[in-house]
Amino acid sequence: FLKWLTFSLFAYVGVVFTADLDWKAVAAGAVVPRFALDGETLMLVVAVLGTTISPYLFFWQSSQEVEEEECDPDAAPLKKAPEQAAGELKRINWETGIGMGVSNLVAFFIMLTTAATLHVAGKTDIQSTEQAAEALKPIAGEAAFLLFSLGIIGTGLLAVPVLAGSVAYALGEVRGWKTGLECRPRDAVPFYSVIGAAILIGLVVDHLPIDPMKALIWSAVLNGVIVVPIIAAMMIVASRRDIMGAFTATSWQRWLGWLTFAVMGAAAIAMFMLM
């Protein structure tokens, strides 16, 4: 049910087409963005990169793939059953591609909508969800806050197991705990304890006198910085044939991976230098 609530986010797409936009300028700005090379701007660049390639996604997706394989009696680790690789990797590519495509499309229209509504009205310091919801008023009117709330609640509740679960998976793998959402709580007490603690910390932070919008930005910036060494470690492992065997990263995968590392690393370093 929760996933259907996230469709309310597509309202941002609708708002764009109710505004009088110079689509040539939009296209030009999307392809060749213009921005000042200062600390604040680069911080937002790192934040956008951090929300696109987040550290927790690596742990969550890999752990979920392992868990699904363990629950399927006909499946086996690909190193032991390489004949299953073609179908499984194709499925993963499709799922990842569609997920990234849709999420980035919605993110683009959210930025475009807020630029076309709030920014042109001089509202550049958003400090509450109520202010953010005003971007939907051209299409939703007084129901804008309700529509925005449905999207936030849906995505928020979907994100809880992903964010909290990723921490538990990562810590559990390091500590050698039994992990997996398919496990009963009594069989994986440390794993579920970390999930509970992460949720509790989130609830506590929500009641602290912290600007929620700035907290979101800074968490994204933190993701954008932390993910750089994780990408490097992942590329080193993926490039080693003695570890990956037949599934060693191809030349173009290594090139693309290290390019991503270089771009995100350069953005993070430049941000720290100019702040």
Confidence of residue 207 (pLDDT cuts 50, 70, 90): confident
Q: Please compute the mean of the pLDDT values over residues 133-149 and round it to a whole number.
A: 74
Structure tokens at 82: 């390489």
Considering 92-96, 207-211, 220-224, the range whose residues carry the highest mean pLDDT is 220-224
Give residue 141's pLDDT.
74
Q: How far apart are CA 73 and CA 147, in angstroms?
A: 42
> Which of 240 and 136 is assigned the larger pLDDT?
240
Range in 2-11, 25-34, 162-171 the model is least confident about: 2-11
Average pLDDT over all residues of the chain? 84
Q: How many residues does the chain have?
A: 275
Give me the amino acid identity at 273: M
Give residue 210's pLDDT.
82
Give residue 269's pLDDT.
95
Mapping DSSP to helix (H, G, I), strand (E, B) and coil, where does residue 73 land? coil
Where does the chain have alpha helices with state H? 2-5, 11-16, 23-31, 39-52, 55-71, 85-114, 129-133, 137-140, 144-175, 189-206, 212-238, 241-244, 251-274
Structure tokens at 171: 């810590």
Structure tokens at 153: 């609640």
Please check the confidence at residue 11 and state whether its pLDDT lies above 90: no
Please check the confidence at residue 196 and state whether its pLDDT lies above 70: yes
Q: How far apart are CA 210 and CA 201, in angstroms?
A: 14
The pTM is what?
0.80
Q: How far apart are CA 169 and CA 192, in angstroms?
A: 10
Q: How far apart are CA 154 and CA 172, in angstroms?
A: 27
Give residue 140's pLDDT.
66
- Tokens 């994986």 correspond to what residue? 188
Over the stretch 212-271, which tens digit does the pLDDT of each residue have? 778 888 999 999 999 999 999 999 999 999 888 888 999 999 999 999 999 999 999 999
> Which of 189 and 139 is assigned the larger pLDDT?
189
Give residue 232's pLDDT.
95
Q: How far apart are CA 158 and CA 179, in angstroms?
A: 20
What is the DSSP secondary-structure string of 236-262?
A: HHHT-HHHHGGGPPPHHHHHHHHHHHH
Q: How many CA atoms lie within 13 A of 116 on its CB side?
A: 24
Q: How far apart are CA 104 and CA 106, in angstroms?
A: 5
Question: Closest Cα partner for 52 from 114, 7, 118, 96?
Answer: 96
Give residue 139's pLDDT.
66
Give residue 7's pLDDT.
73
Q: How far apart are CA 184 and CA 194, in angstroms?
A: 14
Roughly what angle, to the nearest 10 degrees, separates helices 39-52 and 251-274?
A: 150
Please check the confidence at residue 18 and state whether its pLDDT lies above 90: no
Please check the confidence at residue 126 and state whether its pLDDT lies above 70: yes
The CA-CA-CA angle for residues 249, 259, 104, to 5°, reads 95
Give residue 2's pLDDT.
57
Q: What number of other Cβ atoms are within 10 A of residue 113's Cβ?
A: 23
Over the stretch 57-91, which tens digit does the pLDDT of each residue have? 888 888 888 877 777 777 777 778 888 888 888 88
